[in-house]
Chains A and B, each alone.
Chain A
Amino acid sequence: MKKHLFSLTFLVLAGVAVSAQEVKFEEFDLDNGMHVILHQDNSAPVVTTSVMYNVGGKDGDRSRTGFAHFFEHLLFEGTENIERGEWFTIVSSNGGSNNANTSQDRTYYYEVFPSNNLELGLWMESERLMHPIINQIGVDTQNEVVKEEKRLRYDNAPYGAILASITENLFEVHPYKDKNIGEMEHLDAATLEEFRAYFKKYYVPNNAVLVVAGDIDIANAKKLAKDYFAPIPRGADVVRNFPKEKPITETKKAKAYDTNIQVPAIIAAYRTPGFKERDAYILDMISSYLSGGKSSVLYKKLVDEQKQALAVQAVNVGQMDYNVFALFALPLGDIPLATLLAEMDEEVLKMQEELISERDFQKLQNQFENQFVNSNSSVSGIANSLARYYMLYDDINLINNEIDIYRSVTREEIQAVAKKYLNKNQRLELEYLPVEKKDK
């Protein structure tokens, strides 16, 4: 009898586990156009407040690159009600953590607090949008800090400039060609007026989404979100019209140099559809097939069996307008870069000529299911995903059903997509090299 009871309990728990996977949320618009998303999860006394702005490295004047990232620094400098230098003290003295990050497509700010500080988080984010102080002291300080960040991440780090070297060669007219962190000369030349104009253009409630997630009471959170954000005036709509890239029809070849490396790298990079497109999902699966795990075709062949590569990777870098699909390898010993490239090409060619095996196809499905389960494991991660799917994918329900897209992909589609995009004449071949020794 006891035993039965126990297993019954177990069943109930298992049932809970499956349904707990679904992320529930509520959403509404404020009158000023700001979108608000609420997600309640009371399992730990933690709350995340976050705002995603639809502005990224790709936006703005091309002689002023790096503004989006620069703002991610500047908007911690203080507001009309938060003194300069106080931002981080307020967060940490209330037991919170906070950060922000910028991609080519969007800028994201968030705080995580013990749940009794929900109001504080909303106050801070609304202050940032309503009336931040943008002055010369802040600009000058953050200008130096950003330069140090660039040195740290790009100039002093082995392989640090690799992505920038790919995109500057892969894109010709679309702003993805420019470094997300920007050109330092552009930041040096920028005036205070230009920073203020940029803020006015992009930092408007109708270009932002607020997420409140975690240990909240929905009615209370709703009220607070309105109290703090509704008074912020609506701005002009942001209109974008980026130039379209012409398809690449002839292999581009380029070289880049890094003083911090000894071992060169070979990269083959393709310009592929942006992350919303079905083909982008299929290319995610292709990258997993090629290099996800020790049994993947490229790892197994180049690293394990033929011992030609120290590392090999196929990545699908997700962006809104175009993704970058790249094959990347580091040679082992004296293996020429051309050999590595030819070996990788051979496997891509196989994908184009034959269907992948049923077993490998099932493996892919299992890997993506595992990834899906893990993708919603923290409240702050869920907050970020909700904002992203709403703002950049135009479909917030992807938080629960993105997995269905992967599930619906067939082996034939995988083959067709490999054929459509991964051809030699459609790509950039980049040799990423150590700086040459002195001439003989």
Chain B
Amino acid sequence: MSRDLAERDDGIKRRDFLRVVGVTGAGATLTGCSTAEVEKLLPYVVADESITPGVATWYTTVCGGCAAECGMWVRTREGRAVKVEGNPDHPVSEGGLCSRGHATLQHLYHPDRFHGPMIREGTVFRQGTWDEAERLLAARITRAQNPANTVDGGSVMFVGGHMSPSMGRLVDEFVGALGGTRVDYDAVTDAPLLEAARIAYGTSSLPRYDIGAARLLLSFGYDFVESGASPVEHGKGLSRMSAVNDESHAKGSFVFLGPRLSLTGLNADEWIPIRAGSEASVALGMASAIAGPGSTGPYANLLQSYSPAAAAQAAGVSVEAIEALARRFASESPSLALGPGTGAHHRNATAANLAVMILNDVAGNVGTTVHYDPAAAGGLAGASSSFSGIEDATRAMASGEVGVAFVHGTNRAYSLPASAGFREAFERVPFKVSFASAMDETSALADLILPDRHFLESWGDSTPRPGVMAIQQPVMQAVPLFDSKQAGDTLLAVGGHLGQDLGAATFYEYLRGHHLAAAGGSTEDFESGWRQALRLGAVEFDAPDAAVPQLRSPQTALTFDAPAFDGSGDLTLIVHPSARFGGGEFSNSPWLQELPDPVSKITWHSWLEMNPATGEERGIRTGDIVTVASPHGSLEVPVWLYPGIREDAVALAMGGGHTGMGRYADGNGVNALDLLPAVAEQPSGALVTLATTVSVTATGRGRRLATIEGSSDQYDRPIAPAVQLALLGEAVEGAEEEHGELMAPQGVGGFVPVPAEGGAPAAFPLEGARHGEYAQAHEGPRWAMAIDLDKCTGCSACVTACQSENNVPWVGEEQVMMGRDMNWIRIERYYEHVDATQAGDLDVRFLPMLCQHCGNAPCEPVCPVFATYHTPEGVNAQVYNRCVGTRYCANNCPYKVRVFNWYRYTGDIPEPLNWQWNPDVTVRDNGVMEKCSFCMQRIRDAENRAALEEGRPVRDGEVVPACEQSCPAEAIVFGNIRDPNARVTQIVASERTYRVLDELINTQPAVNYLKKVTFHEVVSEAH
């Protein structure tokens, strides 16, 4: 009841600002009895033509989450952004969107955002007006610029992070006019790669990889699926490259070389656990083996001095493995080697990247799978952030040369090692300005905070790669609670006060003006192009000629030897970007905090990855809290024993241990950077993350991990089977024999005409499927899903997409520890074969487990009140408001996909975070069961729209569940299995199709999985 009142109030406020008609179901709750209080209906004063109440409006824009700049679709209802999705028309991301992309929506409505410009008065901040703030800033700049001023005078310094090209240009002009300097920095950076590309090919942008075209893919520890330059694009590439083709049975293979299996590594077919820092030796060893003695080229002499034997020696793996791999790399072309990436930024990182480039060059991959864009062609130059730049900046600040310092888009005080001394130096600056939209460790030090807009509220542009231009447009009016202003506009205003002329009054004009100029000034085709850019989200124009560049001889002397590590500890510390938080800038999102880490399945807190053997010899078990000490710091963290890491290494993820970022980030886990030295890699100047050894000692204390992992062994149960590539074609018969005649009739399973013996598709409903309320014959659609486990990378984007679409609440660390996480999709991770001691096959199975919508559902007959039942369309529906909460259905669900509202989780969500709620989905209340609904609201929406136009039935592909929509790997397909031409029907006809546990308990699920395909023999009985 009280919940209901709160809800109503919020409803009024919301509608007040939006001036719209009340939304049925907006923030709906199950406490339906709304007799007590009066609900107001607030119409528009003037109706907005583009808005029909109750009908969603979609906008395209560019995701501002990271430098990858994926295309985005934003669904708005009554002028409120309620869901972000991947834009299928975007040439780079092609409809995929990662978990972080989805979570940006929470930053838009984040209760920690500033309510206006904040002006420091002594130790506290006072909220001021924009005019006041801008005038103050202008005044301080003039004052600082005054040469006579020796007290708090000095130059202007702009410390930036990732920003759109136009914004960068504006900043340069603004700062340039003041004679100041601009430095960019990101803890997660590809600077060494960029530097290597400059040295090797003289290009100023990152190499582009055509991963999908490769037949053999090598990753030298490069985590391109979860972090890296463009996770969605590269993840898609990986699944396209490694997924088997059901006709030709062609399948690319993926070999991972590195001390630790990241999410990317877990997708590999083979793991060569090379010692940390030996990437260069291995790459060059292979290159020399391929090039042979009589090789030419600028690096010929270098290659002479390397050999597989030396490489094996350095890497601590067998020489045969490296030779074999070298042979394959040369023969199975086009091949592709990537690496080493942020996880392996050691003191010779540039050299290591260069070595990998040489390897690609020797194997003749340049121009086929690797592309180097000629200089100044744009591309991801924005990522060229350097730590050495920051070092200079820090020195300048510390020495008092800087009078006014701007911080934009980055959180220095957090994302720099404490020993870098940035915090202290920054504090010494007389006047510090932050553009952060919410408080973080850096803004806490600032004198003036000019809250920037969220990218969904602001204008911008992006060139994710040469030949592609995308426009970032505001999809809604700025959230009124937060009096924010786009940084570009602020700079222009301040510039105005300072008498600068930057050629535009607003950033929008500035942006348009620039693109108009770029288009050669011809207005009309610019207009069309501009409109197309806004409609499609991106435009492609003919890319500059990709002439294959020649490898240059090195001007700078680089050492390719194994790097030095600080300290005398016996374990090498690997600090890698988090798959959920990147470098920590996403840590304040409860969705991401609650999203199980794709590798460890741990939520909320940090953990130290350690090999079980290492743990055993030290008597350390999972959950023990240990002290990790490096020469530069020490911290306490629980251990998670992980077979996917070398015995001589331990790993920590970035993103934890925030102290001043916000309610959802602070106090969760530890900041791995505290263990690192403030060392810049030469010559790229990136922060060295693979820098030190540590000693690990048990504290004797322990804790329960907030993990969703029960057992990573599937006990030979028919849950996530696989089939050997060589057996494709005979696989079906093989399976039949395995399980014998007993299983044959049930093996057919649910709704799907799987080719049984004799080929005749099984009739529906099957005998024995009558328990599912199927008595009446139904001619309508029969919804079903297919998930290709050979494509799934386990990236977990679907989990967050589902959470966003279906108003799934988060429950917090305590509750997750009790086993009460609410996510409707659980990405299960089963180890089949993981060996960290030698090169060999790797077999880890990912299985997205959601409600299977069984044709023969065990949950249905046991519900005493029909709260769960089967719809005629084959969906296992859950009627929330009918549920009494006996939880029998959950007990009887063999897949354990039903989650229960143990508390009123939805009640704790603070304003205005709950504005994100999907108005089309009921917000569940205390004491009811819930689960995947196959996005029933989307099915209904499609039906309604189909009915409105000529009352036709829904077409294939019109209903796209949130998980399928965002899946970067294109592993999920949903549709009407009754329609023989539907994609799902055709995919499911594959011989790899199976249903989880079906042959064991005849549940006849509507979710069909396609077996993972391996190169090695599958030993597991579960097959």
Q: Do A and B come from one complex?
A: no
Give the A-binding residues of B (Cβ under 8 A).
none
Give the B-binding residues of A (Cβ under 8 A).
none
